Structure 1
Amino acid sequence: MVDKHPAVIVQCASTAEVISAVKFGNEHDAPISVHGGGHNVVGRIAGDDGLMIDLSRMNSFRVDPTTETARVELGVVLGELARETHAFGFETPLESNSTSGVGGLTLGGGSVGSPERME
């Protein structure tokens, strides 16, 4: 469905790697796009001939039942988080599609604009 072809895809596993990828993209004047949970089926976030930062390896999270909070990395998908929070009797206040990325839903409200609008 999506026919986009970034020149480079960087699969980051840490915040430090994301920072390095952004610096590299900026130093080489490359358009930067970000792949989180990968739920955007129309591919509006992907770009051609640029650098894509893939956050799917940043998929850890921790639920703290005492404070009723969760710390979630940007590559986590909703189904993974929901299974863990349900074990503690909590619900996730996001959409019902288990394959949606938590990062995109949290930062973009599930509505992602075109790369030109991202800063």
Structure 2
Amino acid sequence: MTTTPEHDERIAKMTFSSVYPHYVTKVERKGRTTAELHQVIEWLTGFDSKKLEHLIDEKVTFETFFKRANLNPNANLITGLICGYRIEDIENELTRQARYLDKLVDELAKGRKMEKILRKG
């Protein structure tokens, strides 16, 4: 399933700060912590909690967020369905990266073990 240019553009222009509270709510509602969420985000992007806070305050778009990220070399191991899309089949790089993050948050909320989420085996 391919994404539409409109879909890709919408993701690119969405601000990380508008989505972040939903990530927090989702994981906390399932008994996980913000610290665990930050661990997952740091694994994917290289952003520690302080840098994350700065990016939220700056209201960066997902496009800027992922341009500044140092994506984990194992990010391509994140596969499966998210929001109706098979991650490994998403052609647009930015959209695929945003879905990587969605998938990791989803796995965290579903109670998956951290070493599995962080693709450690």
TM-score band by shorter chain is: under 0.3
Which has more strand, going by share of residues? Answer: 1
Q: Identify the structure with bigger relative contact order (alpha carbons < 8 Å, sequence gap 6+).
A: 2
Over alpha carbons, which structure has the higher Rg? 1
